[in-house]
Structure 1
Amino acid sequence: MSERKTPDPGNPLVLGIETSCDETGVALIDGRNGLLAHALHSQIALHADYGGVVPELASRDHVRKLLPLVHAVLDEAGVDAGQLSAVAYTAGPGLVGALLVGAATARAFAFGLGIPAIGVHHMEGHLLAPALEAEHPEPPYVALLVSGGHSMLIEVRALGDYHLLGETLDDAAGEAFDKTAKLLGLPYPGGPHLAKLAETGRPGRFRFSRPMTDRPGLDFSFSGLKTQVLLAWQKQDQQDGQVRADIARGFEDAVVETLAIKCGRALDATGSKALVVAGGVGANRRLRAQLAELAASCGARVYFPRPAFCTDNGAMIALAGLRRFQAGDLAGVDIGVRPRWPLSELRPPAAAA
């Protein structure tokens, strides 16, 4: 453990807690030095036998893991709990039981220490995650938020000022990855396994449609693409590993190209020269490469958080909490969570006050 730090009233120190689904994340950040320490516990092994997240098991595992992670992060940073300025936690959207674990823990810490607790919107955390890196854009910029639960294009104008440009009309991209992987007989969680398999697939052997790119607009739809894969798979020798890899490659290419086309349209529509990519699918290597090419072709720049900060994590919640704290956006003492919480309901701190 490092030497204990002296409290600095002019430098807010925020603990972030993320428990929206199946990852327990804790991080510590300050206004001057940035991220000081972070830790993440994944529940993948816990849910693997069920082929998906079991909410009750997720909540119980958060209860077991959260406090040890909090103490580990404070120890790694050499910080006493009494030095904290605020505790930020994910208030929604997410699984209600999992959210309540993080909210109750954060509120208890804050009440005992006499400091604010700040409920953070999970997607705002993802939108701000690229700012955890040394090189990041300041608003305004376009953000592609793409994960297992969300596929959205958003114009980020300022903290809390988010204009929805387009969203999925059915399955999110990450959800389509997971369902397609299950269809191909790949283990849970399917998305990363499908992407790995696609690396050995032959490009062009199976070509699937690029949904909703043949018409104007920035919305997405991936459910029909899933059906195309099913029909193609049913006609093949399902014991042939190369066929499976080729179908995985065809599916991944279709999703990645669709996302890239829509991102290009969003940059054109807004005139922005900065594209931020956030959410779990943002870790996909093929997507990163194609969006980098897109940005270079139109004189823009694309920003990604490191892969560890694409998936759910405490660092993005700590950062969002810090930004809200610095803007004076503080809440009451009630333990409030919102399993469904449209991003459109967020407001800039001054407007919310």
Structure 2
Amino acid sequence: MMNVFVTGATGFLGTVLIKRLAGKGHTVYTLIRNRERAEDWLDGLPKKTQEAVRFVEGDVMKPLAGLQESQIDALKGTIDTVIHSAAYLSFDASERERVLESNFEGTKGLLDAAERLGVRQFLHVSTAYTLGMDDVGVETLYETKGREFVNAYEESKCHAEHEVLSRQDRFCVAILRPAIIVGDSETGEADSTFGLYGVMRAVELMKRHSEKDRTKAADASTIVVSDEDETHLVPVDYVADLIVGAVTESENGLIYHVTNPNPPTNGMIMKAIQKGFEFPELTWVPFEAADRLSRLEQKMNEPLAVFEPYLNRTIAFSHDNTDRLLKRMNHPPLNMDSAMLERIVRGYRKRHVNAEEV
């Protein structure tokens, strides 16, 4: 069993990751900024997970992840692996500096702390979209100079990847690049507002409007999304499994695409949403046809504009490294069918219906 230091533990992916690590018998040191909030989060987890967690107060926005010399001395030689899953996710251009500072400078600071702690391994959770505007993703580093990124988040993660791999002579490093993370493959449970959940939120608003005035349902029932393009959705439990597997099975200096080997088309996804929301009036049109929408539909689709680069193109990701990792883990590849998509939609619906009732 190992002592694993995790950032981003209280987030959507981090919470599932912590449960998986505890289930494997590892002791988990979680970096926290606010003890009261962290204790509230921990209280909601299974007893076995609670017993495995140790809090370490710090802040990835500060040098050495905010760790004091006394903390470093106490933990030195104790931590086997660092898993860096914390990130500041924003597509807002006005937050560019904060995104770069958190995701790039924060990673550098954590790497420095890992060196001081004498860890054996550093696993970095990045994103599959460090490829920028390319349509083919490879399991190697992308050049940062001259690359057109969709947003600062992608750019910050690409720079961070270069920094991580520059340390591979000091400890074992590996990079995991998840695509668009969605709910649990079996329960559909999720705690996210990005990607697919932004689309479902828009559909939810459309359905409410349609139910209020059935005579105007046709004015609020169209989502802008390309029908034939494929979107790399990956269930959160699958992502967590690969990260945990990488603790013992990854190879130094390699990059792993945590993507979907058979990604669903947007048409498949929208049909699952149509069915899950019991909203037969729901239709979808490609981005070039957005001008045909009613004013109300245009307004409801506005928040989805930031997702256009991810929903309006098909990307082919290589996954040779990941295939080898899965084989060593004895873990099957992802098989996302219509039934799984429907479970993910039901998970969203269940969560939001329950929230409204409370």
TM-score bucket (shorter structure): 0.3 to 0.5
Larger relative contact order, structure 1 or 2 (CA cutoff 8 Å, min sep 6): 1
Q: Per residue, is there more helix in 1 or in 2?
A: 2
Superposition TM-score, scaled by structure 2 size = 0.33
TM-score (norm 1): 0.33
